[in-house]
Chains A and B, each alone.
Chain A
Amino acid sequence: MLGFVARRLALLVPILLGLSVLLFLWVRALPGGPAEALLGERATPEAVARVKKLYGLDRPWYEQYLTWVGNVFRGDLGVSSRTQHPVVEELLRTFPATVELALVAMVFAVGAGVPLGYLAARRHGTWIDHVSVAGSLFGITIPVFFLGYMLKFVFAEKLGLLPTDGRQDPLLDAGHPTGFYVLDGLVTGNMEAFGDALAHLVLPGVALGTIPLAIVVRITRASVLDVLHEDYVRTAEAKGLAPATIRGRHVLRNALLPVVTVVGLQVGLLLGGAVLTETVFAFPGFGKFMADSIVARDYAVLQGFILFTAVIFVLVNLLVDVAYGLIDPRVRVT
C-alpha cells in the first residue's frame, strides 16, 4: 500500500513538469497581458513597456519560465499583478473557502443521493423510481446560476432563513486562525461564528451539490439494480439475514464501488473552484478569484492556482484508489 502511494506521488513530478510548461505557454497565449489589463485601453506603448519590464515580461519566455520554476521550488509562486499580494497568500485565503463549499456540496450530494438512488432501485418501476429519475434529470439540466438565485430569493430574501451571501456575517467578531471558517469557529470556541459560517454554506452548497446529487442518484440506482440481481444477494436472502444486514453488507457495499469513483471525480472538479456558484453567492473562493485573475491576465495567480489544482486533483484520485482498495479486496493494491 505504501509503495503504491509512493509510486503515485512520484508520478506527480513528470505530470507537474509537463503541465507547468503547457500552462505557462497557455497563459501567455491569451490575447493581451497583465500590463494591458492594468493600464486599460488608452495606455501608451511606453507605459505598457514600462510595466512589462517591471514584471520581467520583456524577457524571452524560456527565461521567464526557468525563473518561475526556480521560484516555485522555493515555495514562491510570485506576486499577483492584480492585488499586489503574494500568490501563496491568496491561495491560502481562497482555497479553504472552496474546500468548505465543496465538502458541504458533496455531503449534500452523497447524503441525499445514495439513499434516493437506493430507494429508486428498490422500488424499481414505481412512481418513486420515476420521480427520482425525472428529478435527477432536472437536477442535471437546471443551470446553477438560476438555481442559485432561486434558492437565494426563496430561502434568504423571502423567508429570511439563511444569509444571502459571503462566508461570514461581517459584524461578527470572529478570529480565523485556519482559514476554514467553520473549523475556526470550533477552534476558537466561538459557537456563534461556527453556526454563522455553516449557515453561509447551506445555500451555495445545495446549489453546487445539485448536479453531483443528480449524478450520484443515477449511478447509485443503476448500480443497486445490478447488485440486487447478483447471486450473492440471493444467497444472503436464503440465509434469512436481517434486512439491514443484506442492505448494508451485501447490497450497498458492492453497489457503492462505482459511486466512489464518481464522487472522487466530482470532488476533484469542485475543488477546482465553482465560479458560478461563488459568483452568485459572492463567496470569496478559489474559482471566483481565478476567474477574476483570467480577466486581469494575472499570470502569476493563474500559473500558481492551476498548478495547485493539478496537485489536488491527483491527490484526490489517489485517495479514491486507496478507498476503492479498502472496499474491494479484489483491487487491493500491494
Chain B
Amino acid sequence: MGPANAASPGSPGSPGSLLDVRDLTVVFRQRGRADVRAVDGVSFSVSPGETVGLVGESGCGKSVTSLAIMGLLPKRGVHVTGGVAFDGTDLLALPPDKLRALRGRELAVVFQDPMTSLNPVVPIGTQVTEVLTRHRGLGNGEARREAADLLRRVGIPDPSRRLREYPHQLSGGMRQRALIAAALACRPRLLIADEPTTALDVTIQAQILELLRTLVAESGTALVLITHDLGVVAGMCDTVHVMYAGRIVERAPRYDLFASPRHPYTGGLLASVPRLDQPRGVRLEPIKGSPRDTIPWARGCAFAPRCPNRVEACTPDAPDLEGGRHALRCVNPLPSDSPEAKVVHP
C-alpha cells in the first residue's frame, strides 16, 4: 500500500482508527481433511462512529471474520493469524480474562438468529442485567431499572413486564431488540452486527435497521454491519467491503461502489438485485455458478471460474487489493464509468 492509501476511508492503518484489522487469516484444521482457509488476509479499519459494511454471499467468511475479531472462535482446530488492533490493543494477543473484560463493554456483537441467541431458560431481564452487573458493577435493583430503560429505548413496550418474561414469550423482532439492548447496555465503542435482520420478517427488518442506525448515531458507536443484503448496505454504510471466498475483493465508499462497481463480482451482485427503475419484463441476472466453484487463491482469483470478464491473466497469481479510495483486487475490472446495469453475463 502506498502512502496515498493511508488516508482513504476503511483502509487499514488510517490514523485514529478504532478497529484496525490487518492481514487477518483464519484456517480451520481437521484431522484427515485439507485445511480450510475461511478468511484469507483480510485488512480493514473502522474509525470511531463510522459504519462499515462487510458484504458477501453465504460462506464467504464474513461471520468468521467477526468471530475472529471478538475472539469467539473455538481454540482447537482453528488457526488465527494477523492482527486485530482495537484502540491500539492487539485483541489476538490479549489474555482471555482481559479480552473478557473488553467484550460486552467496549465491543459488542448482535448475532443473526434471535430465536437461538437468547438462553431459553433465563428471563430476558437477567440476560440484559448480567452485562450491567458484570461490566458496570451495578447492583441488582439499579441494573433492573437500567435494563427496563434500555428495553424502552429499543422499542419494547411494557419493559418491566418483559424483563420477567422468557425468550419464548417474545416475538422474533422483540428478541432481536432485546439482544440489541444487551449489546448496547454498556455503550460499547464498537458494535458488530452479524446479519442482524436475516432471520426476521421484511417489515421488522426495516424497523431493526432503523433502530440500529439511530442508536449508533446517538451513542457515537462504530458499527460493522455484516450482511449479504446490498439494500441494507446502501441505506447505512459509510464504507463497504465486498468479500469473496475469504478475501476482500473491493472496497469503496458506499456511493462510489453503487455508482460504479469495478469488480465483476460486485457488478454481479448489484445486477442480481431487483430495482424499481428497471423496465418491466427485464429478468434479474444471477451470478452463474455457486461460491463452491472456486479455485485456491494461491492459483489466482477465486472468482475466476464464475467471472464473465475472465482473462488469461486471472489464474496464475492472486492479485492484490490495489487502489486508494476505491480499491479492488482484479486484473480485468469493469470500466470505471460502467453502471451496473451494463454488466451482462454471457
Query: Whole-angstrom distance between the alpha carbons of A249 and B119 in the complex?
Result: 9
Closest to B165 in A: A329
8 Å CB contact of A239 from B104, B113, B123: B104
Q: Which residues on the A side are within 8 Å of B273 (C-beta)?
A: none
8 Å CB contact of A232 from B116, B166, B168, B183: B116
User: Cβ of B102 < 8 Å from any Cβ of A?
Assistant: yes
Query: Whole-angstrom distance between the alpha carbons of A214 and B276 in the complex?
Result: 64
8 Å CB contact of A230 from B104, B108, B116, B182: B116
User: Cβ of B121 < 8 Å from any Cβ of A?
Assistant: yes
User: Cβ of B314 < 8 Å from any Cβ of A?
Assistant: no
User: Cβ of A237 < 8 Å from any Cβ of B?
Assistant: yes
Q: Per-residue 0/1 for A226-253: is the Cβ within 8 Å of any B Cβ (1 yes, 0 no)? A: 0000111011111111110100011001
User: Cβ of A254 < 8 Å from any Cβ of B?
Assistant: yes
Query: Whole-angstrom distance between the alpha carbons of A329 and B105 in the complex?
Result: 29
User: Cβ of A89 < 8 Å from any Cβ of B?
Assistant: no
User: Cβ of B22 < 8 Å from any Cβ of A?
Assistant: no
Q: Which residues on the A side are within 8 Å of B123 (C-beta)?
A: 329
Query: Whole-angstrom distance between the alpha carbons of A105 and B120 in the complex?
Result: 31
Q: Are A250 and B119 in contact (CB under 8 A)?
A: yes
Query: Whole-angstrom distance between the alpha carbons of A254 and B123 in the complex?
Result: 13
Residues in B122-171 with C-beta less than 8 Å from chain A: 122-123, 126, 130-131, 134-135, 166, 168
User: Cβ of A327 < 8 Å from any Cβ of B?
Assistant: yes
Inter-chain CB contacts under 8 Å: number: 82
Query: Whole-angstrom distance between the alpha carbons of A237 and B108 in the complex?
Result: 10
Q: Are B135 and A328 in contact (CB under 8 A)?
A: no
User: Cβ of A7 < 8 Å from any Cβ of B?
Assistant: no
Q: Are B118 and A238 in contact (CB under 8 A)?
A: no
Q: Are A235 and B118 in contact (CB under 8 A)?
A: yes
Q: Are B121 and A254 in contact (CB under 8 A)?
A: yes
B320: min CB distance to chain A, Å? 33
User: Cβ of B100 < 8 Å from any Cβ of A?
Assistant: yes
Q: Which residues on the A side are within 8 Å of B101 (C-beta)?
A: 240
Q: Are B105 and A240 in contact (CB under 8 A)?
A: yes
User: CB within 8 Å of A: which residues of B?
Assistant: 70, 72, 76, 99-105, 108-109, 111, 113, 116-123, 126, 130-131, 134-135, 166, 168, 179, 182-183
What are the 6 tightest A-B residue pairs by CB atom distance, in nearest-first order?
A240-B103, A240-B104, A239-B104, A231-B116, A232-B119, A329-B166
User: CB within 8 Å of B: which residues of A?
Assistant: 125, 230-232, 234-243, 245, 249-250, 253-254, 327-330
Q: Can you give 12 contacting A-B residue pairs, CB < 8 Å?
A: A231-B116, A232-B116, A232-B118, A237-B103, A238-B111, A239-B131, A240-B105, A242-B134, A249-B119, A249-B126, A329-B121, A329-B166
